[in-house]
Amino acid sequence: MKDDPLIDLAEKINNPDLRQKVIELLKNPKLTFLDHPEKYTSLKDSPASKRRHHSYQKGLVIHTIATTRLALSLAEILEEIYKVRVDRDVVIAASLLHDLFKHLTYFEVYPGKYVRSKLGERLDHLSLIIGELYARKFPLDVIHAVVAHHGDNGPIEPRTIEALLVHMADRTDAEINDKVLFAAKEIIKECLMKEVVTLPREVSPYEVIIAKKEGGCEEVRRRFSSMI
């Protein structure tokens, strides 16, 4: 893949074996321990959720990039200010892989409308990625950081500093985007008199908010009335 931001981040992993494992999985995100589903959303186009944070086309990749960069920034702060040693290889690997198989659990029935895939009706993304990481013999610390990324709401809480950083980065990006998305929908409701469940793929929630700030409802109508 050329100019792939996920691969670019994976290239920062120092351990050659782990780096290769992560890149192979990112380039070919398919199941080996289970029959691969026939119908699902592609990784590059998948949302990160159906209705909450990053619930729009390409949302999953955007969320993954943001989570990884946030986690690395947190690692830098801990190392420089608190003198804590952080295994950045684990942080990068787990951040890149924590939501990887979400795309297998979604299927786009028409533009912007996603439903559970047949596989997604039976297994969640966390079960799928953990099974695959075990099958591919990933290091235990990476698997732990992935399985613990939901924090108190997951099957196990973070028990390493790396797992905690991944969890906090994931949570921070998800919550920020969730609130931005909610605000954008409220602006659309106010200015366009329309209620939307998901935004059209060509509409960024951040752009909606900026339009309202710069020119009020008139600017929102000018830029988005034909798209929504």
- Does 191 map to a domain? no
Q: How many residues make up the chain in this entry? A: 228
- Does 104 map to a domain? yes
- Quick one: angle between helices 59-81 and 161-192, nearest 10? 130
Confidence of residue 2 (pLDDT cuts 50, 70, 90): low
CATH classification at residue 77: 1.10.3210
Instruction: Specify the pLDDT at position 101.
Output: 94
- Does 29 map to a domain? yes
- Does 228 map to a domain? no
How many domains does the chain fold into?
1
- Does 225 map to a domain? no
Residue whose pair of structure tokens reads 């619930």 in the numeric block: 55
- Does 134 map to a domain? yes
Residue 5 vs residues 8, 61, 62, 96, 107: alpha-carbon distances, Å? 5, 9, 9, 10, 24
Instruction: Give strand pairing partners of 107.
Output: 115
Q: What are phi and psi of 31, to 5 degrees?
A: -75, 140
The average pLDDT across 136-162 equals 97
Dist. CA 58–CA 6, nearest whole Å = 13
Domain hosting 85: range is: 5-174
At 184-203, the pLDDT tens digits run: 999 999 999 999 888 887 88
- Does 130 map to a domain? yes
Mean pLDDT of the chain: 93
**Whether the predicted pLDDT of 1 surpasses 50:** no
- Does 129 map to a domain? yes
Instruction: Give strand pairing partners of 155.
Output: none
Q: Report pTM.
A: 0.92
